[in-house]
Structure 1
Amino acid sequence: MEREWKNWDLKKKVGQLFVFGFHGYEPTKQIKRLIEDSGIGGTIYFSRNVKDAEQVHKLSGELQDIVRKAGQPPLFIAIDQEGGMVARLVDGVTLMPGNMALGAVGLAEGARETARVCGEELRLLGVTMNYAPCIDVNNNPENPVINVRSYSDRSDVVAELGAAAVEGYQAARVAATVKHFPGHGDTAVDSHHALPILLHGRERLEAIELKPFRAAIEAGTDCIMTAHVCLPALDPSGVPSTLSEPVITGLLRKDLGYNGIVVTDCLEMDAIDKHYGPAQGAIQALQAGADLVLISHTFEKQLAALEAVVAAVKSGELAETRIDEALDRIMGLKVKLELDEDLLPWEQVVTRIGTENGKAVAKTWSEASVTLVKNGGQILPLRREESTLVLWPAIVPVSVADEMLAGDGTLGYFLEGLGANVTERQMNSDSPLSDLDSFTQVIVVTYDASKHPIEREVAREAVRLAPERTVVVSVRNPLDLLLFPEVKAYIAVYECRPLALASAAKVLLGDLVPTGKLPLEISAAYPFGWSADIGS
């Protein structure tokens, strides 16, 4: 496969520069057409493509079979399997803690080991490119899209853990893709819906945003994903970084010395789609220095982008040397990853994923992440025999809610499994605290109270009515504490996956001594690195 692309026609060359998504658990006629007629370079799995591990294994095999029969190079098969709250594949695999949980542990070995186990399982299922780790620095509490997907608000921590995760994934022969260059952490706008503008100059970027990317490059990351973020100090034209030659070719290639693959974030996100459209966006991204163009959803837009790039090369708008340069990197990585090897049969794969060893790895680092922020009045540990009310937020992602209802359980489920006397209710507007006096212990679970009024209202009311009996457990955003600072006991676990809830339950009942430390500053009273003693 190596170097044979030199003799390909233009259409086949251009096809390899695209990663396209599709809808469904089986290959659709659209994705078959894009593989057979255009020779696309890769595809991406979302939740809409994932039922369970066995189905993903079958899907990967079917896609690569289509490629072989068409005489095309093997596909990159990509996924966003960051761990924690961002995971497309849950059933049948070992779901690892997310970045902020690992940031609370603060050990590179945690990031490396969880990435390695995740990568090994992905590779067995035919997934060879993970759009992870996210190495944005979470230094803006108003950020609507990064938050717990970041390891920390400290660039040194993000750099160390991000580089370790790169090593872990790539030891498993899965291409790591660090994101979102040159940094999406200090934005208050979600680029899925609008174009964020970052006003920082080069000196500030060097001090914070760029440190993790330098570390990832030194660690040998195979891919870097761009951010749809505008940086006027680097490119006064006003285009987002994904389309910016000064950012990709100037900053990333020349200044940071990166020579791996640059992949765009999805061009159907509004920051690109509404202002440029994926077709023109693809041309500009390639002109700027990107190698792989991601268009995740719409067949008509995917087809239009392919045709637009071919036309741009023929007209001279886009140099064919730029196509060749990108293709050289793409084909080189496909050779390195040995994408032409056959998948193992499912009967062999099923014994090597979701193993007890993998679960033990996930459990170890999840338990190490639980952070006790406050324990005034020695509310904790709770007493098993006492009547305990758990109030659960109605606002959780549908996929996570399904996961809990499928039998893995909520926090109350795990407390009950440890012998606690528990009543669990979902928060709603029907005054869930009317019988608070019937319970001697109250646990309020919050997911993101700044965005969901019912959570902060219930937490505030519980703290007001039962200040000596109430503990709040944050299962996503640790900054929730700022909304009810008078609460006496507060625990952060950074995600509401069952494993994190099981870890929280053990701490609540005194079966586990919490060792996690805040990976970000909540306030001057609760700075980065803070943790409380169980007896204080």
Structure 2
Amino acid sequence: MAAVPATAHAKGRAPGREDARIDELLAGMSLEQKIGQLFVAVGYGSRADQPHKSNTETTGVDTIAEIISTHHVGGLIYFAWSDNLENPEQVATLCNDAQDAALTSGGIPLVISADEERGVVYRLPAPATPLPGQMALGATGSKAHARKAGRIVGEEMRALGLHQAFSPVADVNVEAQNPVIGVRSFGADPEAVARLAAAQIKGLQGADCSAAAKHFPGHGDTAVDSHIGLPVIEHTREEIDELDLPPFIAAIDEGVDAIMTAHIVVPALDDSGVPATLSHPILTGLLREELGYDGVIVTDSLAMEGVRTLFGDERVPVEAILAGADQMLMPPDLALAIGGVRDAVDAGEITEERLDQSVRRILRQKLRRGLFTDDLHVDPAAAESALSTRKSLRTARKIAEDSVTLLIDEALPLPYGASVLVTGEGSAEKIDVAVEALNDLDFTATGLAEANAKDAAAAAQDVDAVLVFTSSSGFETPAEQVAVVKALAATEATVVHASLRNPYDVVHVGEVGASIAGYGNADATLQAIAGVLAGEVTAGGTLPVAIPEADGTGEAYPLGFGLG
């Protein structure tokens, strides 16, 4: 790929008034505040003033408010496991109080973020709209669906006081055995991924919620999970240009606020052996200079093993800044990480000019998303009513119906009024959603959650048909799930199989009467699958990835396949 001018993919430079405001803000910031702006922290607790031992252990202070006032962090990221996300009113109150702490201690508002991809990766509490995820959107091929899904996520986040979704996944998932991307990707066609990623960014940022395309320069062709190891991508530069980069170029063209780095080694781009997150040739040489990106570069979590294999936790953020990153996400020891950067500044290794470059980008993002306005605080009492509106639920249902993909059909639709057992992988709650949907369609449905092969087969003796779910996070379907399907297939009942995560399960489960790829277990997806069994829904999706044979070779189902 030939080098392009530094502004070729940049969309909308900051106007003079914005630059003047950034100059004013920078002039009033101390060195500690500038360094703090480069960090996005995890804070534990449901309230900003709630002491939590994990805060003490990971940040040196007790509460979220103290993390903000002591370390001057530029942002927070929320998770259920850090006790941040109990219910909409609590989330909104926490956001308001966190912002008050930021405004009181330095006057710079926070960017509050979450990994809000929807599908299998979501963070907002119920009743946030249970949207199908990115591979489901890939199965629809619809830019309109991707844009609308992004808009719903953005509006719901802003209603609760959050401003950044670390989404969309712009990785092109060409490796069926990828353990970490899978259905989080739009698919295996780089042009389709580019088109849908750009549409989702348009929807998110149209709701004034920052998007972050991830994971640069492309995490789609690896069988190693960067949470626990350091993957190596062996693509040539030509393959990178043709396969990995088009979605990121499309994101840049769309004006994406942030791009997240990958903890992967890419020898064709940097033969030093360091992960992309810490690579100057990749972040500065390729992303900044060649692709012309001038938005925020945010690292993936610095607590992941993929970025901790070569350097200590105090050194990793220094290396990331020197490589070209602006924001350090989730360092495992915040005080240690900030101290490492401060030492590098004191030693002249990181100049204050270099700090200012990153702080400028972060402040520009905050200005463009309206965080320096009176709209910073949200109404906690109104938060829940903004989630799962009738319009957003209709959109989720339409996306689901257009995404579910029929791979085998020797038995559908089932006879009107048939008795149907719903079982297999999935919580009792999800089984119940499918049961209710089937009963609404005039079947006589019952559910059996957490069943082993013997119990499932016994329950199938008394019904006409079985809807059995599997859910794999990689290429191989777990043996116990396969055993349930095969035990059911040995009964007299008609067996309809549905995969509720990766679509590859179909080649592992043996002979079934029908098989449907759902790409996730959102309520709308389960309802759409029920509709397919009744003949009320035409499975509208086509495979956005190819499915290999069970031994991992060849192609059992090609990209674009679908019987709907």
1:532 partnered with 2:532: no
Map Cα deviations across residues 388-429 of structure 1 (whole Å, 9 max, x no partner). Answer: 222221xx5xxxx48648xxx342232233332123223326
CA distance in 2, matches of 1:429, 1:508: 23
> Structure 2 counterpart of 1:437, which letter?
Q
Indicate the residue corresponding to 1:303 in structure 2: 335
How does the TM-score come out when normalised to structure 1? Answer: 0.93
CA distance in 2, matches of 1:34, 1:347: 26
Instruction: Determine if contact 1:36/1:72 at 8 Å carries over to the other structure.
Output: no
CA-CA distance at 1:531 after TM superposition: 1.4
Instruction: Determine if contact 2:45/2:63 at 8 Å carries over to the other structure.
Output: no
CA distance in 1, matches of 2:318, 2:88: 36
Alignment of 1:122-521 (within 5 A): 122-295=157-330, 298=332, 301-340=333-372, 341=374, 342-376=376-410, 379-393=411-425, 396=426, 401=427, 404=430, 409-425=432-448, 426-428=450-452, 430-434=454-458, 436-448=460-472, 450-466=476-492, 469-521=494-546
CA distance in 2, matches of 1:282, 1:430: 53
CA distance in 1, matches of 2:477, 2:278: 32
How does the TM-score come out when normalised to structure 2? Answer: 0.88
Moved more, 314-323 or 443-452: 443-452
CA distance in 2, matches of 1:391, 1:130: 34
Instruction: Determine if contact 2:298/2:325 at 8 Å carries over to the other structure.
Output: yes
Map Cα deviations across residues 440-499 of structure 1 (whole Å, 9 max, x no partner). Answer: 212221111824211112223333444x72111111111101113533311111101222
CA-CA distance at 1:69 after TM superposition: 1.8
Instruction: Determine if contact 1:390/1:412 at 8 Å carries over to the other structure.
Output: yes
Instruction: Determine if contact 2:278/2:320 at 8 Å carries over to the other structure.
Output: yes
Aligned identity (percent) is 38
CA-CA distance at 1:525 after TM superposition: 4.7
CA distance in 2, matches of 1:21, 1:435: 46
Instruction: Determine if contact 1:119/1:169 at 8 Å carries over to the other structure.
Output: yes
Indicate the residue corresponding to 2:551 in structure 1: none
Where do 5+ consecutive residues of structure 1 fail to align?
none
CA-CA distance at 1:184 after TM superposition: 0.7
Map Cα deviations across residues 331-351 of structure 1 (whole Å, 9 max, x no partner). Answer: 111111111333242344444
1:64 counterpart (94, 99, 103)? 99
CA distance in 2, matches of 1:433, 1:456: 13
Aligned residue pairs, count: 518
Indicate the residue corresponding to 2:17 in structure 1: none
Where do 5+ consecutive residues of structure 2 fail to align?
1-20, 51-61, 549-554
Instruction: Determine if contact 2:232/2:266 at 8 Å carries over to the other structure.
Output: yes
CA distance in 1, matches of 2:318, 2:295: 20
Instruction: Determine if contact 1:222/1:260 at 8 Å carries over to the other structure.
Output: yes
Task: Report SS of the residue matched to 1:83.
Answer: coil
CA-CA distance at 1:138 after TM superposition: 0.9
CA distance in 2, matches of 1:436, 1:128: 48
CA-CA distance at 1:430 after TM superposition: 4.5
Moved more, 156-165 or 50-59: 50-59
The 3 A distance-change label for structure 1 pair 353 and 423 is: closer
Moved more, 215-224 or 493-502: 493-502
1:42 partnered with 2:75: yes
Instruction: Determine if contact 1:143/1:188 at 8 Å carries over to the other structure.
Output: yes
The 3 A distance-change label for structure 1 pair 68 and 435 is: closer
The 3 A distance-change label for structure 1 pair 348 and 435 is: closer
CA distance in 1, matches of 2:292, 2:124: 34
